[in-house]
Amino acid sequence: MDPSDQGESSHQSHTMIVNIHVRSHTADRSTDPSNPEESSSPHEGAHRGDNLFSCSECGKSFTRKGKLIQHQRVHTKCGKSFIHKGDLVKHQRVHRGERPYSCSECRKSFTYKGDLVKHQRVHTGERPYSCSECGKTFIYKGDLVKHRRVHTG
């Protein structure tokens, strides 16, 4: 074989690894190989496309139980879903009634830190959102959005 032909060498190496992997599935077993329930492992099921573990919430299927458990973190009792576990954990505060962020001025409390930061504008007088039509300013972006309807009808 030509040593400059690295692609062929890489292909042969891959083929050898795959052959070893396949042989590991055909090794002698103490169970009856004609009975797929006894002879199949989750790993072999992955090769066949079997998805042995299904999410009861959305129906998504997984070949490994651990992946299903990891996936189920995205679901909440209220139907919302989250990609990141941290966002789910924060959202669960709503259902538990937790409000860990308190305003030092008026003691009003909030579930999310960002809501406290926005609220504090009430006390500081900060009004970062202004109307480009009339110059009126607002503490909250949503209030500016509602206000713009005055100009557009």
CATH number at residue 134: 3.30.160.60
Structure tokens, 22: 């396949």
Domain containing residue 127 = 99-152
Q: How confident is the model at residue 43 (pLDDT cuts 50, 70, 90)?
A: low
Answer with the one of 79, 97, 115 that is the final residue of a domain: 97
Picking from 85, 79, 119, the residue whose alpha carbon sits closest to that of residue 102 is 119
- Any idea which of 14-18, 29-33, 118-122 has the lowest mean pLDDT? 29-33
Rounded to the nearest integer, the mean pLDDT of the chain is: 77
Do 76 and 118 fall into the same domain? no
84 is a domain residue: yes
Q: How confident is the model at residue 120 (pLDDT cuts 50, 70, 90)?
A: very high
As a whole number of angstroms, the distance between CA 42 and CA 50 comes to 8
Do 123 and 146 fall into the same domain? yes
pLDDT tens per residue, range 58-102: 888 888 888 887 777 777 678 777 778 888 888 889 889 999 999
As a whole number of angstroms, the distance between CA 125 and CA 118 comes to 11
52 is a domain residue: yes
Do 84 and 110 fall into the same domain? no
As a whole number of angstroms, the distance between CA 119 and CA 106 comes to 10
The domain total for the chain is 2
Do 145 and 104 fall into the same domain? yes
Please give the pLDDT value at position 30: 43
Please count the residues of the chain. 153
As a whole number of angstroms, the distance between CA 85 and CA 82 comes to 7
pLDDT above 80: residue 15: no
Please give the pLDDT value at position 37: 45
Q: 72 and 65 in contact (C-beta within 8 Å)?
A: no
- Per the confidence metrics, is the pTM higher than 0.75? no
Do 93 and 78 fall into the same domain? yes
CATH number at residue 93: 3.30.160
